[in-house]
Amino acid sequence: MFLHPDDDPRTDGGFEGERATLVGFLRDQRLTLEMKCAGLDAEAMARRSVDPSDLSLLGLVRHLAGVEQSWFRRVMAGQDVPRHYRSDTGRDGDFDGAVPDPEVVAQAWDTWRAEVAFAERFVAEAPGLEVTGTNGAEQISLREVLVHMIEEYARHNGHADFLRERIDGRVGQ
| Residue-wise pLDDT tens digits, 27-86 | 999 998 999 999 999 999 999 988 888 999 999 999 999 999 999 999 999 999 999 998
**Mean pLDDT (whole number) for 147-168:** 95
What percent of the chain is predicted at pLDDT more than 90?
76
With a cut of 90, say whether residue 20 has pLDDT above it.
yes
**Taking the model in full, what pTM does it have?**
0.91
**Mean pLDDT (whole number) for 132-156:** 96
With a cut of 70, say whether residue 9 has pLDDT above it.
yes
**DSSP-assigned states of every residue in 6-45:** GG--S------SHHHHHHHHHHHHHHHHHHHHTT--HHHH
What per-residue string of b and e applies to 79-117 under the rule 16 or more CB within 10 Å gives b? eeeeebbbeeeeeebbbebbeeeeebbeebbebbeebbe
| Residue-wise pLDDT tens digits, 111-128 | 999 999 999 999 999 999
With a cut of 90, say whether residue 139 has pLDDT above it.
yes
| Residue-wise pLDDT tens digits, 85-98 | 988 787 788 898 99
Q: What is the CA radius of gyration of the chain?
A: 16
3-class SS of residue 140: strand
Give the chain's domains with CATH numbers.
5-168 (1.20.120.450)
What percent of the chain is predicted at pLDDT more than 70?
96
Q: Where are the alpha helices (DSSP H) in the chain?
A: 18-37, 42-46, 57-68, 93-96, 102-125, 142-168
